[in-house]
């Protein structure tokens, strides 16, 4: 069964946040003091998340990305992922993580059926990494990446590029793909935490690829498959890995958008930049499967055609990515 929105886009991808909590405090994602934690009763239980996932798959979702906050800090996450991977017709389960808990958890993730890891890594320099994450330990993340490679889980590295902060490392990250089988994805910084100066931090995707092309011969690649996200992909000639450029600011990818998002408290969004949220929690808790199916169809039907991130308006409302899941 296929699910289409009112603009004829096929919607087959659900980003499911399982927690608002995190063991880091990245400067582009949350304030130093963190964000106010949701109450335990406001967070969907694993049974509720599973019902939501099963219902979404029943109407056409084929790929689920588990995200957060930091998904690996929620107790019982491995069992939940194992249950998720038993849903018939769910073609892909992937997980986004900051990597801090990977050394001890990556084997369990593989056993639970996670098919790929997106690991956020914004710097290969310990001081810069610590400045961006405020409390991260680069050594642990790198150890987690090595372990994931050993265990055989495919890896994408997500680097949020910020001018004057870590953009001088673009070439180092691109160079990693020469001998590592990762896809390194360069993501334009988005104005998440309220920041009136946000535009000065954005390094446009075009500039990133031009810089890489100034040192390497680069070939464009086709999209990976119909479940893949909005990344423009490239390979340096002879490289083992690939490069992806994600441009939410300089070039919207709205007409290819195939996703909906649900937060750990059951708030659903048709678009990251559309502040209208639909409360699925009560539907999950009291409405049963048919009502949930109808609610999900409604969210898809009301998905905006175009992102409303533009000019300075986007800086008006802080977007807490740790709640929405990125």
Number of other residues whose CB lies within 10 A of the CB of residue 179: 11
Q: Which residues ranging from 43 to 82 are in contact with ligand SF4 (CB under 6 A)?
A: 68-70
Closest CA to 206 of 177, 176, 232: 232
Nearer to ligand SF4, 161 or 236 (CB): 161
Q: Is 27 in the site for ligand SF4 (CB under 6 A)?
A: no
For ligand SAM (CB under 6 A), the number of binding residues is 20
Q: Is 173 in the site for ligand SAM (CB under 6 A)?
A: no
Q: Is 70 in the site for ligand SAM (CB under 6 A)?
A: yes
Q: Estimate the share of the chain in helix, then strand, then coil, as percent rounded to the nearest 5.
A: 35, 20, 45
Nearer to ligand SAM, 232 or 302 (CB): 232
Q: Which residues ranging from 153 to 172 are in contact with ligand SAM (CB under 6 A)?
A: 158, 160
CA distance 292 to 283: 6
Binding string, 104-123, against ligand SF4, x = CB under 6 A? Answer: ----------------x---
Q: Is 158 in the site for ligand SF4 (CB under 6 A)?
A: no
Q: Is 98 in the site for ligand SF4 (CB under 6 A)?
A: yes
* Three-state secondary-structure class, residue 48: helix
Task: Give the strand order in the sheet containing 183-188.
Answer: 218-220, 232-236, 242-246, 183-188, 155-161, 116-120, 92-97, 63-67, 13-17, 259-262, 267-269, 278-279
CA distance 186 to 257: 18
What's the angle, vertex CA 82, arms to CA 80 and CA 88, rounded to 5? 110
Nearer to ligand SF4, 26 or 309 (CB): 26
> How is residue 266 written in tokens?
């059951």
Q: Using CB under 6 A as the criterion, which residues of the chain lie in contact with ligand SF4 when the complex forms?
A: 22, 24-26, 29-30, 68-70, 98, 120, 321-322
Q: Using CB under 6 A as the criterion, which residues of the chain lie in contact with ligand SAM when the complex forms?
A: 22, 28-29, 67-68, 70, 96-98, 120, 158, 160, 187, 189-190, 192, 321-322, 325-326
């Amino acid at each position: 069964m296929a699910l289409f929105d009112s603009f004829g886009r096929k919607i087959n991808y659900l980003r499911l946040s399982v927690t608002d909590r995190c063991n880091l405090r990245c400067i582009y994602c949350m304030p130093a003091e963190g964000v106010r934690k949701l109450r335990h009763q406001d967070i969907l239980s694993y049974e509720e998340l599973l019902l939501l996932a099963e219902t979404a798959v029943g109407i056409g979702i084929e790929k689920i990305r588990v995200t957060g906050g930091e998904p690996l800090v929620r107790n019982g996450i491995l069992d939940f992922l194992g249950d998720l991977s038993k849903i018939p017709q769910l073609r892909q389960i992937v997980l986004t993580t900051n990597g801090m808990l990977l050394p001890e958890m990556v084997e369990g993730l593989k056993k639970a059926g996670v098919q790929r890891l997106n690991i956020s890594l914004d710097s290969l320099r310990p001081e810069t990494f610590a400045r961006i994450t405020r409390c991260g330990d680069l050594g642990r993340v790198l150890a987690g990446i090595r372990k994931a490679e050993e265990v055989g889980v495919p890896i994408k590295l997500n680097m949020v590029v910020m001018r004057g902060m870590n953009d001088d490392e673009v070439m180092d990250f691109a160079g990693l793909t020469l001998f590592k089988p990762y896809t390194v994805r360069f993501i334009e910084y988005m104005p998440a935490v309220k920041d009136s100066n946000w535009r000065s931090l954005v390094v446009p995707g075009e500039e990133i690829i031009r810089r890489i092309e100034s040192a390497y011969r680069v070939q464009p690649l086709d999209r990976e498959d119909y479940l893949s996200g909005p990344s423009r992909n490239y390979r340096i000639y002879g490289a083992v890995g690939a490069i992806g450029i994600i441009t939410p600011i300089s070039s919207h990818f709205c007409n290819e958008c195939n996703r909906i998002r649900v937060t750990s408290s059951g708030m659903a969004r048709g678009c990251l930049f559309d502040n209208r949220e639909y409360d699925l929690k009560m539907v999950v808790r009291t409405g049963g499967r048919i009502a949930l199916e109808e609610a999900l169809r409604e969210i898809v039907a009301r998905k905006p055609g175009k992102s409303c991130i533009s000019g300075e308006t986007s800086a008006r409302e802080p977007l807490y990515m740790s709640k929405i899941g990125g």
